[in-house]
Amino acid sequence: MWRNPGQPADSYYQVRPECTDVPKTRFKIKAGKTLSPRKWQAAFTPEGYLDISKTLSRIYRGGIHPSIRGEVWEFLLGCFDPKSTFDERDEIRQHRRLQYARWKEECRQIFPVVGSGRFITAPVITEDGQPIQEPLVILETNQDRSAETGNSDGNGTIQSRLNGSCSEMVRKLTSHGPLDQKVIQWLLTLHQIGLDVHRTDRTLVFYEKQENLSKLWDILAVYAWIDTDVGYCQGMSDLCSPMIMLLEDEADAFWCFERLMRRLRGNFRCTESSVGVETQLSNLAEITQVIDPKLHQHLDALGGGDYLFAFRMLMVLFRREFSFCDSLYLWEMMWALEYDPDLFSIYEEPELNGEKAEGSKGRTKSIRHYGKFERENMKNGAVNSESPLPISIFLVASVLKDKSSMLLHEARGLDDVVKILNDMTGNLDAKKACSSAMKLHKKYLKKAKEAIAYNETHDFFPS
C-alpha cells in the first residue's frame, strides 16, 4: 500500500520531461503519519459513519495519501456529512450527478461545444449579443494530441470545422430574437475560460490529453452558468484543476469545486469600485500592523499599505508559491485546521438535508470534531463575529513575518517586495507555514482581546 517511507509523491502528478525548472515537492508520504488508504478505511464504521476527529488528527500529522486525496477532500470541503451512512452518501452522489448533468445539458443546448470534448479560446459573441462571424476559435489540439485522440486530419481541417460550427451555433441562437442578458454574459466568458484552461498546470502530463483540458473547461463553463454573481474570473481554473485530477467522475469534481467556491467566491465578487479580495487584503494589513508594526509601517511607506502584492496568494491559495503537490498538501492542512462539522448542513438546501439533518441540527458536537484553527476561534469568541478571518490570511501574514528582516533591509520599493516574495516559490514548507499561521492567529486573537479590554476600561473610566 505504501511506497518507500519518506519518499516524495511527485510520481502521482507527473511532470512533462521537457519542464526541467519545476520545483520538486517537499511533501513526503510517511508511514505512521500520512493518512493512508488503510487508516482511511478503518476510520469508517460498518454503516459508513466517519470518525472525523481521528481523520483530522492524522491529516495534521502528515497530510493525505495521494491515492485517496479526492475522497477525503469531499469530506473536508463539506460535500458529505461525516455522520452519514454509505447508503445516504450514495444517494446524495447520484442526486448531484443528475443535477450536474441537467445543468450541463442546459449549457450544451445553448452552445453545443460544451460536452463535445472541445473548447474555445476566442470570443464568439459581441457584448451586445451579436455573433462574431469569423471567430478565431482555437481547439487545444496539435498534431500529437490529434493522433492521441484519433483525429487524423490536420489542424487546419479541425480548425475550420470548429470555426464554422461555432459561428453557426451563435447565428442559430440569435435567429429567434435578442438573447437574454444571462446568456450573453455567459457566452462572453467561454473564451476567457478557454484561455485560462490552456495555461493552467501545463507542466503536468495529465494536461497533455485533450479530454482533460475539455473536462476542466466544461466544469468551469457550467459553474459560470449557475453562479451568475461570480460567473468566471481569472484564477478559478487554478482552483478547479486539482479537482478533476483527484476525482475521476466529472460531476464529483464539479461539486468539490463548487464547495471550495462557497468558501472563496467572496474573493471573486466584484463591484464597480472594488474586488472582493480587497476585504481580505485589508484584514491582512490589520493583522500585520498588530503582530509586526515595523514591517507594516515600512510596507506602507513603500506604497504597499494596500497589500496588493499579496493579491495572488489569497486569490489562488498559494498555487504559485508552492509546487503542485505541495499546494495540495497545504490546502488539505488548511481545510483540516478550519474544519467545521456543520459544513454539510450549512451548504445543503433544506430539502436535500432530509429528516436526518433536521434531527441532527440541535445536537451538541464534540470540540474534537472541529479543526484546531476553528477551536481557537470558538475559545476566543471569534466564531461569533460576523465573519471570522480565514486561515489563508494568517498564512500570508506568516510568510511576511518570516521574510520581515529581508523586506525591512532590502526592499526599497514595491518591485523589491514582489521580487523577494516571488523568490520564495518552491522554497516554502507547507507544514511549517501552517504552524506559523496558527501561532500568529493565537497571538493576534490575544492582542485583539487585550485591545478590546483596554478600550472598554477606558470607556468606563474616561480621563
Query: 281 CB contacts (<8 Å, ≥6 apart)?
Result: 306, 307, 308, 310, 311, 314
**Identity of residue 124:** V
What does the pLDDT read at residue 244?
Answer: 96
What does the pLDDT read at residue 140?
Answer: 38
Q: What is the chain's Cα-based Rg?
A: 24
Position with higher pLDDT, 213 vs 172: 213
Which of 64-68, 203-207, 307-311, 383-387 bottoms out in mean pLDDT, i.e. has the lowest?
383-387
Q: Which residues pair with 29 in a beta bridge?
A: 7
| Segment (H or E) for 7 | strand 7-8
Which of 71-80, 358-367, 368-377, 420-429 bottoms out in mean pLDDT, i.e. has the lowest?
358-367
CA distances from 374 to 93, 277, 370, 442 (A): 27, 21, 6, 11
Position with higher pLDDT, 249 vs 378: 249
- Residue 159 binned pLDDT confidence (cut-offs 50, 70, 90): very low
Q: How many helices (DSSP H) and strands (DSSP E) are in the chain?
A: 21, 2
- Residue 300 binned pLDDT confidence (cut-offs 50, 70, 90): very high
For residues 325, 329, 332 and 334, what is the CA-based torsion angle, rounded to 10 degrees? -130
What does the pLDDT read at residue 441?
Answer: 94
The pLDDT of residue 157 is above 60: no
Query: Residues of the chain with pLDDT > 90: what percent?
Result: 64
Cell numbers for 207: 494536461
Cell numbers for 75: 469530506
CA distances from 391 to 47, 280, 377, 385 (A): 33, 11, 11, 15
Cell numbers for 167: 459561428
Alpha-carbon gap, residue 365 to 305, rounded angstroms: 41
Which of 48-52, 163-167, 179-183 bottoms out in mean pLDDT, i.e. has the lowest?
163-167
Query: 280 CB contacts (<8 Å, ≥6 apart)?
Result: 267, 314, 390, 392, 393
The pLDDT of residue 165 is above 50: yes
What does the pLDDT read at residue 145?
Answer: 40
331: closest CA among 256, 422, 254, 251?
Answer: 256
Query: Residues of the chain with pLDDT > 70: what percent?
Result: 82
What does the pLDDT read at residue 380?
Answer: 78
What does the pLDDT read at residue 38?
Answer: 96
- Residue 139 binned pLDDT confidence (cut-offs 50, 70, 90): very low
What does the pLDDT read at residue 363?
Answer: 42
What does the pLDDT read at residue 131?
Answer: 83
- Residue 1 binned pLDDT confidence (cut-offs 50, 70, 90): very low
- Residue 450 binned pLDDT confidence (cut-offs 50, 70, 90): confident
Which of 32-41, 172-181, 401-410 bottoms out in mean pLDDT, i.e. has the lowest?
172-181
Which of 5-19, 378-392, 429-443 bottoms out in mean pLDDT, i.e. has the lowest?
378-392
- Residue 173 binned pLDDT confidence (cut-offs 50, 70, 90): confident
DSSP three-state, residue 325: helix
- Residue 172 binned pLDDT confidence (cut-offs 50, 70, 90): confident
What's 128's DSSP letter? T
Alpha-carbon gap, residue 368 to 390, rounded angstroms: 19
Cell numbers for 99: 443535477
Q: Over range 283-287, report the average pLDDT.
A: 95
Structural contact between residues 5 and 29, judged by C-beta atoms closer than 8 angstroms: yes
419: closest CA among 427, 433, 436, 407?
Answer: 407
The number of CA neighbours under 13 Å toward the Cβ of 14 is: 7
The pLDDT of residue 116 is above 80: yes
pLDDT digits 0-9 by tens, 228-240: 999 999 999 999 9
Left, alpha or beta for 445 (phi > 0: left; psi -120 to 50: alpha)?
A: alpha
Structural contact between residues 90 and 252, judged by C-beta atoms closer than 8 angstroms: no
What does the pLDDT read at residue 74?
Answer: 98
Query: Mean pLDDT across the chain, nearest whole number?
Result: 85
Concatenated DSSP letters of 339-382: --TTHHHHHS-HHHHHHHHHHHTTPPPPGGGS-HHHHHHHHTTG
The pLDDT of residue 160 is above 70: no
The pLDDT of residue 383 is above 90: no
**Identity of residue 367:** I
The pLDDT of residue 364 is above 80: no
Left, alpha or beta for 235 (phi > 0: left; psi -120 to 50: alpha)?
A: left
**Identity of residue 13:** Y
pTM, rounded to two decimals: 0.87
- Residue 152 binned pLDDT confidence (cut-offs 50, 70, 90): very low
**Distance spanning both ends of the chain, measured CA to CA:** 69
